[in-house]
Amino acid sequence: MKGRAISPGRASGEALVSREPLSFYGGVDPKTGMVTERGHELEGKCVKDKILVFPRGKGSTVGSYVIYGLKKNGVAPAAIVNKETETIVATGVILAGIPCVDGIDIDKIKTGDRLTVDGDNAVVELG
């Protein structure tokens, strides 16, 4: 699948998919990588080394710093795939150096799928 390059780099891993938008500030613990937002479909899941797939970010702009903190603490996702990356996530992945591609039809991806994300060429491959 071809999308738009948001942040460069290449990574492979297992998909962790959310159908709802994700707030990093207050929603993901930067020390452990656990999703902590009450009632979120990923609550209790860990984003570490996953290809994290969600439609878009939401919530406070401090979320950019949380994404950076995840990377610094070694619990960041290996890559991020969005339907549409808004500024909070774009800012976070670029500053943290996490590969990210948007403009992807994420309905075709399920949790557990094996994915390769190429942030240099804006390509996401299944399998």
Partner 1 sequence: MYLTKEQERMLSGEYGEVLERNFRLLVRLGEIYGADRMIPVGSVQVAGVSYKSIGDPGLEFLEDLADKGARVRVPTTLNPPGMDLEDWRELGFPRDFAEKQLRIIDAFRRMGVAMTATCTPYLVGNLPRFGEHLAWSESSAVSFANSVIGARTNREGGPSALAAALCGVTPNYGLHLDENRRPSVVIKVDAELRRESDFGALGYHVGKTIEKGVPYFYGIKDADVDQLKALGAAMAASGAIALYHVEGLTPEATLVTTGGLGTIEVGERELREAHEGLNTGREPDIAILGCPHASLAEIAELAGKLEGRRLRKPLWICTARATKRAAAEMGLVDKIERAGGKVVADTCAVVAPIERMGFKCTAVNSGKAANYLPGFCKQAVVFKSVDEILEMVT
DSSP 29-88: -TTT-BB--TT-TTTT-B-TTSEEEES-B-S-TTHHHHHHHHHHTT---SEEEESS--HH
- The residue from 7, 23, 60, 64 that is catalytic is 60
AA letter at 124: V
By CB under 8 A, which span of 9-17, 48-56, 82-90, 106-114 interacts with partner 1?
A: 82-90
For the bound state, the minimum distance from the C-beta of residue 122 to partner 1, rounded and expressed in Å, comes to 12
Residue 81 interacts with partner 1 (CB under 8 A)? no
Angle at CA of residue 124, ends 121 and 125, nearest 5°: 120
Pairing between strand 51-54 and 123-126?
unpaired
Active site residue 18: no
Residue 23 interacts with partner 1 (CB under 8 A)? no
Residues whose CB is less than 8 angstroms from the CB of residue 107 and which lie 6 or more positions away in sequence, other chains included: none
Residue 54 interacts with partner 1 (CB under 8 A)? no
For the bound state, the minimum distance from the C-beta of residue 113 to partner 1, rounded and expressed in Å, comes to 26
Interaction residues for partner 1, span 1-20 (CB under 8 A): 4, 6-8
Of 11, 50, 65, 124, the residue at the interface with partner 1 (CB under 8 A) is: 65
Of 34, 46, 95, 123, the residue at the interface with partner 1 (CB under 8 A) is: 95
Residues forming the active site: 60
